[in-house]
Amino acid sequence: MRTIVSSLLLIVLMITAVTVTAAEITPERQAELIYLLRQDCGSCHGMRLSGGLGPALLPERLRLWEVNQLAATILQGRPGTPMPPWRPFLTQQEAVWLATQLKQGIQP
């Protein structure tokens, strides 16, 4: 009995571990993030991300930054500038995904 219970527990643990490591941004959430990029980020960075109140978010300019630095800027904002923190709306993983898209040159 005891072994059955612990084997079951082990299986549950293994399944949880797999889902956590395989956690990816679903296509639906990706579409929402692109929408956010166009509507919210675009309001300052320009509809084509070529700059406005905020600087252009195009690959040539972002070349200078690592993905993690860009993700940190997205999550924390730039205090003292109009760039707001997006932490309430985005996870670390989503910010990294957005930063990667921007560096690759996404056209929202």
Residues that bind ligand HEC (CB under 6 A): 36, 40-41, 43-45, 53-55, 57, 61, 70, 73-74, 78, 81-84, 86, 98
Which residue lies nearer to ligand HEC by CB, 10 or 59?
A: 59
Which residue lies nearer to ligand HEC by CB, 27 or 82?
A: 82
Which residue lies nearer to ligand HEC by CB, 48 or 61?
A: 61
Long-range contacts of 97-100 (CB under 8 A, 24+ apart): 97/25, 97/30, 97/33, 98/33, 98/37, 98/71, 98/74, 99/67, 99/68, 99/70, 99/71, 99/74, 100/67
Both tokens of residue 106?
């996404």
Question: At its nearest, how many Å lie between ligand HEC and the CB of residue 23?
Answer: 21
Question: At its nearest, how many Å lie between ligand HEC and the CB of residue 24?
Answer: 20
Q: Which residues contact 41 (CB under 8 A, 6 or more apart)?
A: 49, 54, 57, 108
Which residue lies nearer to ligand HEC by CB, 30 or 73?
A: 73
Both tokens of residue 10?
């082990």
Question: At its nearest, how many Å lie between ligand HEC and the CB of residue 105?
Answer: 13
